[in-house]
Amino acid sequence: MGQITEQLQQELVLALVAANNAHKAATNDQSVAETQYDTLAIEQSYLAEGQSRRVDEIRYAIKRLQSIPLAALQKKPQINIGSVVQLEKDIDKQQWFFLAPTAGGYRCKLALQSNTINIVVITPQSPIGAAMMGKVLDDEISIQIAGKNIADFITMVN
């Protein structure tokens, strides 16, 4: 979880710079509309607002990840927030899923012993996260994506 938080911290720094630059551009004298059709200032203000929202989202994600109780990160039989899960189809790719309350879609690599594993953060709101919640080792999960049914088995839970 530390690597995910570190990645989010790095993204936060970049988002803060982007938000600051967008805010400066929106309030710059060069952005003042010269005609009624000049929309540069409006576009810059929308960009600044979007960047500010992104900063808030990243801060929220970091706070939520840091608030996961240590007990939730301990190995347990039933999949829940804090579980690290591998599916049968992902064994060869060394791909694992980390179930978190937020930050779905973030990816990182972890070095474990002589292997590097790929971690994808998923949330219970995602189709695969919802299918995994409450399951245990060797359970089958089934999700439907774009009208296609995908089934897999849970091969490891940490």
| Confidence (pTM) | 0.70
pLDDT tens digit string along 18-35?
998 888 887 777 766 677
CATH number, position 107: 3.10.50.30
* 76 and 62 inside one domain: no
CA–CA dist 104, 47 (Å, integer) = 23
Domain containing 62 equals 2-66
Say if residue 100 is in the same domain as residue 49.
no
In DSSP terms, 95 is beta-bridged to: 118
Give 119-139 pLDDT, tens digit per residue: 899 999 999 999 999 999 999
Pair (54, 76) in one structural domain: no
Q: Where are the beta strands (DSSP E) in the chain?
A: 84-87, 95-99, 107-112, 115-122, 140-145, 148-157
